[in-house]
Amino acid sequence: MNLTTYDLVITGYSNKKRILKELNNKKEILNVKFMSLDELINSLSFSFDQKSIYHIIKKYNVKYDNALVYLNNIKYINDTIDNDKMTKLKEIKEEVKDELIYDNKFINYIRNKKIGIYGYNYINNYQKNILKNYSYEIIDNPKNNYEHKIYSFNKIDDEIVFVLSSIYKLIKDGIDINKIKLINISDDYLFRLKYISELFNIKINFKSNRSIYETIEFNNLLNEYINDKEIESSNKSILDSFIRIVNKFNFIEDKQDKIDMIINEAKNTLVESSIYDNAVEIISISELNDDEYGFYLGFTEELAYVKSRDDDFFSDKEKELLGLETSNEINKINKDNLINRIKSSKNLSLSYSLSSSFNIYYPSSIIDELNYEVIDNYKYNYECSKLFNILLFYKDIDKYVKYGDISDELITLNSNYEYEKEYDNSYTGIDSNKIINSLDKGLNLSYSSMNKFYECKFKYYLENILKIKEDEETNAIFIGNLFHDVLSKMSNKDFNFDKEYESYIKDIDLTNKDKFFVNKLKDELKFVIDTINKQYKYMSFDKSLEEEKVEVNLDRNIKITFKGFIDKALYNDNKEMIIIDYKTGDTKLDLGNCYYGLNLQLPVYLYLSDNLDSIKNVEVLGFYIQRILNSTITAKKDCKLDDIKSDNLKLQGYTISDMDKISTVDSSYTKSKIIASLGVKQDGDFYTASKVLSRDEMDNLKTLVKTKIDEMIDDILSSSFEINPKKIDGKDVSCTYCKYKDICYKKEKDYKYLDKKDYKEFLGDKNE
Ligand code: SF4
């Protein structure tokens, strides 16, 4: 670009700075004058100052901003419109005509001079009209058709990280930071960009968006001024601005008027921002040169370019008559210019985000017209800022501690950052004698403590050895106990449902809300009992045990008891028995996890059946859970609600596969009416979904339970309480609902990765 042919170069601040720097580097002197386009147009027409603003405020009793609107529009006065608006403008111009500033000296100077206009998107009709009497040229970058990529992100922070990482890489590759430019930084981006760029240690010359009126220093100075005190401030920049503003209004005699004008002017004066010599600049796309690298952020429908609306002082219709561009025309010009600029920019990256903390955005419709590749899978590589990475890491740790979220990012950062080095969460062991001494009253084990132990030894340690669990008395527990209590009495000879139900709740303090639910649930329980009684008709058991407490003595050098309650055992004179556990919540039935000591609830009942006090040497033919409270009912086509509810009450569990025995459990076993999924195909085999076990498999299951209990006791007595949560086939089976996440500081390395097992593999059916 040869500027030596021009006497006056009209360009923006950033271009001017760059041109002067280049000349300085080349030790060249350019004999031209620089101005901005607004300065040029004002100098060639007229401008106004504070006197006119004050004049209009006083004359028409309008606010500062309204006075400015009038004064800014008097340049468009034209006889093509005859309406109140134009009449008012003419009146205002007449009022201030002696105060308007005409720069005749400049107009004479410029008359035969050559003007080059560089780096502006377009010259509007009003400007063209002023410039038509002068010799000017638009200096434009050559048109091109470069291809660029567009990067899409969900959040503004991710987009900013992408841009800063790309800048970091450019600088690392030896690109001068002064050749890197940010474009289209809206207020939505400003705060986060400032914050994250500091973490990346990338200097950016931000233009201030804060008025000096918003500073404490200015307000202190204003107070001193109002109270006629001596004005002083340690902030020289604000002090200078204050003095400059006050001096502008020396022509006003009334002090209050003067203060009002000072305040208005201060609201329109931005705080001077510190400018670094070597930094990334924020520019407009029209200022980007081929040897520079531009990052255009916020390429969304809302932010990509400023959209004009028909809400100016002059309406679109009036603008047409005045020969000015309408809002639609301006929007089209802006859009076309932007597309041209993008295509003609050699080194440009475009990006957008779909949301900020306050707004949702949509990708710019220009993207379709540009037809560039949109990349939405950019991954930050953590190479640019250790400080930022550590902050990310601690943010993710916080999410993990609060919500149990483990992001991929957390796993990557965890293997690199200080958290691990600063705090080693490993269980380092406890003298086993201390554990044994702490168990002076003996060690009580149960299915639930066992499940906890095999989910994670450390969880067991916290809850069962350190006993840090808080007692919970929730509604769910109360309802569960109520149901269990009434169900335990349903086989009594003179069982009276209403009497039992009322007698359980009569001494309990219930809120009105509780009473409402308890009344609703009464009908549900009645239905459960009726259904269970119907189920009994398919069974050949005439005796029952209810809420049977079973204790197994497993003493070592301390007293050890494995305890359990069997909700219901039905049996007959042949000592054939089934065991039923009533469930008000959800429970896993899959025997595959038993291999790892997990989900052993039903097998534990099988194990306990060998240790019943009231009846010895029983043969268990089945063990089940029965869901007595279903929070969700799934509608089925052509099914009545009661049928669906009865179906939900079917026994769920494992039945002996021995055909000679199975009819004792369920006379309808070929297409069971009482056991879920149980049935026999025409070829005599069970349905694939039927849960049946051979006698050997049941025996092996009992042995497995005993082995797991023994292993647990060994580990407890040797104080082996490592943090060892499990993932089975990648699914976390230990930590999801654990209350101790904020104590254990579990790390990914703590997980034991296990494969899902098929119970047939390890229970081994000799008959197969
Ligand atoms: S959160 Fe996981 S690792 Fe920590 S105690 Fe609970 S189960 Fe164990």
- Measured from the CB, is residue 599 less than 6 Å from ligand 1? no
Distance CA 404, CA 741 (A): 7
For residue 402, what pLDDT is reported?
A: 64
CA–CA distance, 236 with 348 (Å, rounded to integer) = 39
> Are 417 and 387 in contact, with CB atoms under 8 Å apart?
no
Task: Classify 757 in phi/psi space as left (phi over 0), alpha (psi -120 to 50) or beta.
Answer: beta
CA of 401 to the centre of ligand 1 (A): 11
Ligand 1 atom index nearest CA of 744? 4
Residue 741 CA from chain centroid, whole number: 20
Look up residue 203 and give its two tokens. 């200097």
**Nearest-angstrom CA–CA distance, 265 and 244:** 10
Does the beta carbon of 723 sit less than 6 angstroms from any atom of ligand 1?
yes
568: DSSP letter: E
User: Looking at the domain assignment, is residue 715 inside a domain?
Assistant: no
Are residues 172 and 239 located together in one domain of the fold? no
* Residue of minimum CA distance from atom 2 in ligand 1: 735
Contact 372, 148 (CB under 8 A): yes
Which residue, by CA, sits nearest to atom 5 of ligand 1? 459
If asked whether residues 310 and 408 sit together in one domain, one would say: no
Using only C-alpha atoms, the chain has a radius of gyration, in whole angstroms, of 41
The 8-class DSSP code of residue 632 comes to -
Tens of pLDDT, residues 684-693: 899 999 999 9
Residue 164's alpha-carbon distances to 294, 382, 586, in angstroms, are 12, 12, 49
Please indicate, yes or no, whether residues 107 and 86 belong to a single structural domain of this protein.
yes
Question: CB of 246 within 8 A of CB of 262?
Answer: yes
Q: Residues 117, 149: one domain?
A: no
pTM above 0.85, yes or no: no
What is the rounded CA–CA span in Å between residue 724 and residue 453? 10
Which residue, of 322, 354, 380, is where some domain finishes? 380
- Residue 416, domain extent: 386-420
Last residue of a domain, one of 362, 395, 420: 420
Is 367 among the domain residues? Answer: yes
Other beta carbons less than 10 A from residue 699's beta carbon? 15
Residues 12 and 81 in one domain: yes
Note whether 340 and 305 are within 8 A (CB): no
Element spanning 85, H or E: helix 84-96
Please tell me whether residues 369 and 267 are part of one structural domain. no
Same domain, 86 and 98: yes
pLDDT, position 768: 43
Low-confidence ranges of the chain (pLDDT < 70): 1, 401-404, 415-423, 470-475, 586-588, 630-639, 765-768
Is 728 within the bounds of a domain?
no
The answer to whether position 233 is within a domain reads: yes
| 411 plus 298 within the same structural domain | no
Q: Are residues 16 and 40 in the same domain?
A: yes
Query: Distances in Å between the alpha carbon of 293 and those of 15, 164, 290, 316, 357?
Result: 14, 13, 8, 38, 28
Among 457, 744, 753, say which to mutate for ligand 1: greatest number of ligand atoms within 8 Å of CB.
Answer: 744
CA of 724 to the centre of ligand 1 (A): 8
- In a domain? residue 237: yes
Q: Which atom of ligand 1 lies at the shortest distance from residue 739's CA?
A: 6
Question: Alpha-carbon distance 418 to 157, whole Å?
Answer: 23
Please give the distance, rounded to the nearest whole angstrom, from the Cα atom of residue 742 to the centre of ligand 1. Answer: 9
The β-bridge partners of 183 are 283, 296
**293 and 345 share one domain:** yes
Closest ligand 1 atom to the C-alpha of 462? 5
Q: Are 173 and 289 members of one domain?
A: yes
The finding on whether 455 has its CB within 6 A of some atom of ligand 1 is: yes
Ligand 1 centroid to residue 735 C-alpha, Å = 5
Report the run of H or E that residue 96 belongs to, with start and end: helix 84-96
Element housing 157 (H / E)? helix 156-172
Atom of ligand 1 nearest to the CA of 738: 6
The residues, ordered by sequence, that sit 6+ positions from 163 with a Cβ below 8 Å of its Cβ are 182, 295, 297, 349, 351
Q: What is the DSSP string of 462-488?
A: IIIIS--PPP---HHHHHHHHHHHHHH
Q: What is the pLDDT of residues 58-80, one digit of tens each?
A: 999 999 999 999 999 999 998 88
- Of the three residues 139, 162, 190, the one that is the final residue of a domain is 139
The answer to the question of residue 500 being in a domain is: no
Count structural domains, the chain: 4
Q: What pLDDT is stored for residue 636 in this prediction?
A: 61
**Helix (H/G/I), strand (E/B), else coil: 350:** strand
From the CB of 740, is ligand 1 less than 6 Å away?
yes
pLDDT recorded at residue 515: 76
**456 ligand 1 Cβ < 6 A:** yes
Ligand 1 centre to CA of 741 (Å) is: 6
Cα 319 to Cα 105: distance, rounded to the nearest angstrom: 31
Distance 406 CA to ligand 1 centre (A): 13
Q: Is the CB of 458 within 6 Å of ligand 1?
A: yes
- Neighbouring-strand partners of residue 695: none
User: Amino acid identity of 595?
Assistant: Y
pLDDT for 687: 93
Residues 323 and 401 in one domain: no
**Is there a domain that residue 228 lies in?**
yes
What pLDDT is stored for residue 69 in this prediction? Answer: 95
Indicate if ligand 1 lies below 6 Å from the C-beta of 653. Answer: no
Instruction: Decide if 342 contacts 145 (C-beta within 8 A).
Output: no
Taking the C-alpha atoms of 354, 357, 359 and 362 in order, what is their torsion angle to the nearest 10 degrees?
0
Does residue 467 sit within a domain? no
Q: Is the CB of 734 under 6 A from ligand 1?
A: yes
